[in-house]
Amino acid sequence: MTIDTLAEFISRLDDAGELVRVRRPVSLDLELCEIADRVMKQPGGGKALVFEQPILMDGSRSAFPVAINLFGSMRRMSMSLGVESLDEVGARITELLEMKVPKGIIGKLSLLPKLLELGKFPPRVRHGAPASQEIVWRGDDVNLDKLPLIKCWPEDGGAYITFPMVITRDPKRGIRNVGMYRIMQTGKTTLAMHWQRHKVGAAHWREMAERGERMPVCIALGADPPSMYSASAPLPPTVDEFLFAGFLRRAPVSLTKAVTCDLEVPAEADFVIEGYIDPAEPLVTEGPFGDHTGFYSLADLYPQVHVTAITMRRSPIFPATIVGRPPMEDFYLGHATERIFLPLLKLTIPEIVDYHMPAEGIFHNLVFVSIKKEYPGQAYKVMNALWGQGLMSLAKVLIVVDHWVNVRDPQEAWWVALNNIDPQRDARFTMGPMDVLDHSSRAFTYGSKLGLDATKKLPEEGFTREWPGVIEMDDATKRRVDAIWPSLGLEAKPGVTKP
Ligand X SMILES: Cc1cc2nc3c(=O)[nH]c(=O)nc-3n(C[C@H](O)[C@H](O)[C@H](O)COP(=O)(O)O)c2cc1C
Where in the sequence numbering do the catalytic residues fall?
A: 291
What is the spatial distance between Cα 161 and Cα 153, in angstroms, rounded to a whole number? 14
Q: Cβ of residue 492: shortest distance to ligand X, in angstroms?
A: 36
73 or 133: CB nearest ligand X: 73
Candidates 195, 276, 296, 332: give the one binding ligand X (CB under 6 A): 195
State the CB neighbour count (10 A cutoff) for residue 316.
24
- Stretch in the footprint of ligand X (CB under 6 A) among 2-10, 50-58, 199-207, 416-424: 199-207
Q: Cβ of residue 196: shortest distance to ligand X, in angstroms?
A: 3
- Stretch in the footprint of ligand X (CB under 6 A) among 2-10, 80-88, 197-205, 352-360: 197-205
Candidates 151, 182, 313, 364: give the one binding ligand X (CB under 6 A): 182
76 or 182: CB nearest ligand X: 182
- Stretch in the footprint of ligand X (CB under 6 A) among 42-50, 173-181, 212-220, 467-475: 173-181
Q: Cβ of residue 373: shortest distance to ligand X, in angstroms?
A: 30
What is the spatial distance between Cα 196 and Cα 215, in angstroms, rounded to a whole number? 17
For the chain, the residue count is 499
Instruction: Choose among 268, 265, 255, 258: nearest CA to 126.
Output: 255
Under rule CB under 6 A, which residues in 375-434 are in contact with ligand X? 391
151 or 182: CB nearest ligand X: 182
What is the spatial distance between Cα 315 and Cα 61, in angstroms, rounded to a whole number? 15
- Stretch in the footprint of ligand X (CB under 6 A) among 13-21, 180-188, 364-372, 438-446: 180-188
Is 200 a residue that touches ligand X (CB under 6 A)? yes
56 or 233: CB nearest ligand X: 233
What is the spatial distance between Cα 421 and Cα 418, in angstroms, rounded to a whole number? 6
End-to-end CA distance of the chain: 41
Q: Cβ of residue 202: shortest distance to ligand X, in angstroms?
A: 7
Residue 69: partners with Cβ closer than 8 Å, 6 or more residues away: 36, 39, 40, 45, 46, 47, 48, 49, 321, 329
166 or 310: CB nearest ligand X: 166
Q: With CB under 6 A, what is the number of residues at the site for ligand X? A: 19
Cα angle 161, 433, 442 (rounded to 5 degrees) comes to: 95
Is 201 a residue that touches ligand X (CB under 6 A)? yes
Candidates 47, 76, 151, 199: give the one binding ligand X (CB under 6 A): 199
Instruction: Choose among 385, 369, 364: nearest CA to 447.
Output: 364
Instruction: Choose among 155, 184, 222: nearest CA to 3.
Output: 222
Candidates 80, 232, 420, 455: give the one binding ligand X (CB under 6 A): 232
What is the spatial distance between Cα 165 and Cα 333, in angstroms, rounded to a whole number? 14
Under rule CB under 6 A, which residues in 279-338 are in contact with ligand X? 321, 323, 330, 333
Under rule CB under 6 A, which residues in 22-81 are in contact with ligand X? none
- Angle between helix 329-348 and 87-97 (nearest 10): 20
171 or 234: CB nearest ligand X: 234
Compute CA distances 242 → 120, 122, 176, 245, 290, whole Å. Answer: 12, 7, 9, 5, 29
Is 180 a residue that touches ligand X (CB under 6 A)? yes
What number of helices (H) and strands (E) belong to the chain?
14, 27
Binding site for ligand X (CB under 6 A): 177, 179-182, 194-196, 199-201, 232-234, 321, 323, 330, 333, 391
